[in-house]
A and B are shown apart, each in its own frame.
Chain A
């Protein structure tokens, strides 16, 4: 049976309009609101308002910088500041700037890094989405990342050397090499402390100023919504309280990029070294490895020989000689004691396993460092082992402090670091996450270490107490 009711769309429409008007609105937490810690000029890191997702982005940005450009590592600071959940009214516009940047396919720009009073170190970079990047430094170094070839090359024209390294790409890494583009893309759409317009090169631009660990300013062309210049200043960004400043300028978006610029090819006559996972090396499961000064790194102890290391972990991806010469001298600055054999110090590098081991011919293993993609980008795999206190990469600073107590030195420069010289640990953090830790022979208790509070420390021999 069918039953019909009269239906008048007009009252129904009014009813619907009322419902639309009275739609329940969820709580509105204004992400543009100024962060109190920032406003107060607090120098401590502030929590990322985006939470874990924000941290992940920032970390990813940082490793992109390290992995993709190498020589432009300082530029990673830009990432840190850009991605640090800035405050203020103006983050509003960043979503659109990100969108504009995300629509670009390539970028050329220059980084000028000012270390204290020194002349700037200039890096010219080219990056192309999905292809890779090229960075040329003012010291004659060139770093190229080629995503298709899954290799990077670092060329030192001064010393006529080149190192070709394997890339360990994972899903999502096809964007690696974008350098600047990638970090802008990943910026949280939260914003600047100031918002306004100014004139740059005779052109009106929008200005976004961030105040986080330092001052960071982005100038944007309102017509294209693309950045035209970025400036970042860390007043005490270098050890000893010296300032660090970085300017990124001369942006050219969507310029054609010749693929030949991204070739992984050393110039003729250059000494070439390779850092690649040996194909015939037996697999090593780093998940089972425990690292600590007393026990070493898995089966390898501090003091173990180079042969023992290779027996335990197989052929390194790369062996790099760091020192060769006499160890003992008659006096500081004086001639070496005759008759002694040269000491050879080497780095046995296993980025495919996430660690590197320092070994010398006279003392054996002197120390090792464990790292992963958070620190090295796509130049390494993650070390998946733990310390003796179950601390692994990605742990928080609080985790480490709870496990190992008060450090001898705590630095807060371009990275946060905890140094436990008397226990033999160093922990490096980025965005609040443990990105690498290293182990060396613990300092003796007779050595007193004073934290100068500016990223430096002073070591003294303790005065002996007379009975």
Chain B
């Protein structure tokens, strides 16, 4: 039996932060936070947990990406303009803070559009900075596969950035 109170105290902020980084909404992150604990509870009933922070981060990232995916589906059906190319009308420099923020948001959204395992692997490895071994353990695969998943994710995101090519400035 695990001491859930202690787990919550030790890793609560970590889970919330991981969810918030993806969702950028306080209420959504809190909901996600709760979902993480329920899933963690069910998870630990099935098998022992060796690495709590890695498990909780993985669940948080997966749940948050799920939410983001769902949200984007809804917004796409309501407002197709939201999926329009990001910088098509901005014409600004990437050094411009506002446009950079938009680019960051765009990439965040695109991660949710990647194949699930690619998105999770990328986010856990690159943003949450879990080790390859930790990511592999959570995804139930090996380090090489994680490397491949992250590489593919980066390629797709790089392509996206190349398409956007915010360096082209009309003067």
Assess A92 versus B126: contact at CB under 8 Å? Given A19-B104, A25-B16, A30-B12: no
**A93 pairs with B127, CB closer than 8 A:** no
Bound Cα distance from A88 to B5, whole angstroms? 7
Bound Cα distance from A4 to B168, whole angstroms? 5
Residues from chain B with Cβ under 8 Å of A26 in the complex: 20, 26
Selected from B5, B26, B126, the residue in CB contact (under 8 A) with A89 is B5
Closest residue of chain A to B27 (Cβ to Cβ) is A189
**B107 pairs with A13, CB closer than 8 A:** yes
Residues from chain B with Cβ under 8 Å of A90 in the complex: 4, 37
- With an 8 A cutoff between CB atoms, is A3 at the interface? yes
**B12 pairs with A28, CB closer than 8 A:** yes
Query: Which residues B1-57 have CB closer than 8 A to chain A?
Result: 1, 4-5, 7-8, 12-13, 16-17, 20-21, 24, 26, 30-31, 33-38, 41-42, 45
Closest residue of chain A to B37 (Cβ to Cβ) is A92
Q: How far is the CB of A31 from chain B (nearest CB, A)?
A: 7
Closest residue of chain A to B36 (Cβ to Cβ) is A92
Selected from B12, B127, B162, B169, the residue in CB contact (under 8 A) with A20 is B127
- With an 8 A cutoff between CB atoms, is A73 at the interface? no
Residues from chain A with Cβ under 8 Å of B170 in the complex: 2
Residues from chain B with Cβ under 8 Å of A4 in the complex: 167-169
Query: Which residues A220-247 have CB closer than 8 A to chain B?
Result: 222
Assess A89 versus B38: contact at CB under 8 Å? Given A12-B94, A21-B129: no
Q: How far is the CB of B44 from chain A (nearest CB, A)?
A: 11
Q: How far is the CB of B41 from chain A (nearest CB, A)?
A: 7
Residues from chain A with Cβ under 8 Å of B171 in the complex: 1-3
Q: How far is the CB of A154 from chain B (nearest CB, A)?
A: 39
Bound Cα distance from A23 to B171, whole angstroms? 32
Q: Number of B interface residues, CB 8 Å?
A: 47
Residues from chain A with Cβ under 8 Å of B36 in the complex: 92
- With an 8 A cutoff between CB atoms, is A96 at the interface? yes
Bound Cα distance from A195 to B20, whole angstroms? 25
Bound Cα distance from A163 to B37, whole angstroms? 48
Bound Cα distance from A88 to B1, whole angstroms? 16
**B8 pairs with A89, CB closer than 8 A:** yes
Closest residue of chain B to A2 (Cβ to Cβ) is B170
Q: 0/1 per residue, B136-171, Cβ < 8 Å to A?
A: 000000000000000000100111011001111111
Q: How far is the CB of A434 from chain B (nearest CB, A)?
A: 30
Selected from A3, A21, A88, the residue in CB contact (under 8 A) with B169 is A3
Bound Cα distance from A30 to B26, whole angstroms? 12
Q: How many A-B residue pairs have CB under 8 A?
A: 115
**A7 pairs with B8, CB closer than 8 A:** no
- With an 8 A cutoff between CB atoms, is B114 at the interface? no
- With an 8 A cutoff between CB atoms, is B103 at the interface? yes
Q: How far is the CB of A8 from chain B (nearest CB, A)?
A: 9
Closest residue of chain A to B106 (Cβ to Cβ) is A16
- With an 8 A cutoff between CB atoms, is B62 at the interface? no
**A195 pairs with B4, CB closer than 8 A:** yes
Selected from A12, A30, A92, A222, the residue in CB contact (under 8 A) with B161 is A12
Q: 0/1 per residue, A30-62, Cβ < 8 Å to B?
A: 111110000000000000000000000000000
Selected from A7, A19, A31, A195, the residue in CB contact (under 8 A) with B166 is A7
- With an 8 A cutoff between CB atoms, is A95 at the interface? yes
**B104 pairs with A16, CB closer than 8 A:** yes
**B158 pairs with A28, CB closer than 8 A:** no
Query: Interface SS of chain B: helix, strand, loop or mixed?
Result: helix
Residues from chain A with Cβ under 8 Å of B129 in the complex: 21
Query: Which residues A279-303 have CB closer than 8 A to chain B?
Result: none
Assess A93 versus B100: contact at CB under 8 Å? Given A6-B167, A189-B31: no
Residues from chain B with Cβ under 8 Å of A89 in the complex: 4-5, 7-8, 37
Selected from A6, A16, A92, the residue in CB contact (under 8 A) with B107 is A16
**A9 pairs with B41, CB closer than 8 A:** no
Residues from chain B with Cβ under 8 Å of A23 in the complex: 20-21, 24
Residues from chain A with Cβ under 8 Å of B159 in the complex: 9
Bound Cα distance from A191 to B104, whole angstroms? 35
Assess A16 versus B34: contact at CB under 8 Å? Given A7-B167, A26-B26, A89-B4: no
Residue with the greatest number of chain A CB neighbours at <10 A, chosen from B4, B24, B26, B171:
B4
**B126 pairs with A17, CB closer than 8 A:** yes
Closest residue of chain B to A6 (Cβ to Cβ) is B167
Residues from chain A with Cβ under 8 Å of B7 in the complex: 89
Assess A20 versus B37: contact at CB under 8 Å? Given A7-B167, A9-B161, A30-B8: no
Residues from chain A with Cβ under 8 Å of B21 in the complex: 20-21, 23, 25
- With an 8 A cutoff between CB atoms, is A5 at the interface? yes
Assess A96 versus B38: contact at CB under 8 Å? Given A30-B12, A90-B4: yes
Residues from chain A with Cβ under 8 Å of B31 in the complex: 95, 189
Residue with the greatest number of chain B CB neighbours at <10 A, chosen from A17, A33, A191:
A17
Closest residue of chain A to B26 (Cβ to Cβ) is A26
Selected from A25, A34, A88, A94, the residue in CB contact (under 8 A) with B20 is A25
**A28 pairs with B13, CB closer than 8 A:** yes
Closest residue of chain B to A32 (Cβ to Cβ) is B8
**A7 pairs with B100, CB closer than 8 A:** no
- With an 8 A cutoff between CB atoms, is A196 at the interface? yes
Q: How far is the CB of A203 from chain B (nearest CB, A)?
A: 14
- With an 8 A cutoff between CB atoms, is A103 at the interface? no
Residue with the greatest number of chain B CB neighbours at <10 A, chosen from A13, A196, A197:
A13
Bound Cα distance from A110 to B56, whole angstroms? 38
Assess A5 versus B127: contact at CB under 8 Å? Given A13-B107, A30-B12: no
Known: A6-B167, A13-B157, A91-B34. 8 other contacts (CB 8 A): A13-B161, A16-B103, A17-B127, A20-B107, A25-B16, A28-B16, A30-B12, A94-B34
* 11 residue pairs bridging A and B, Cβ less than 8 Å apart: A2-B171, A5-B168, A6-B167, A7-B167, A12-B161, A15-B100, A17-B126, A20-B21, A23-B24, A32-B34, A96-B35
> Closest 3 interchain pairs by CB?
A92-B37, A7-B167, A93-B38
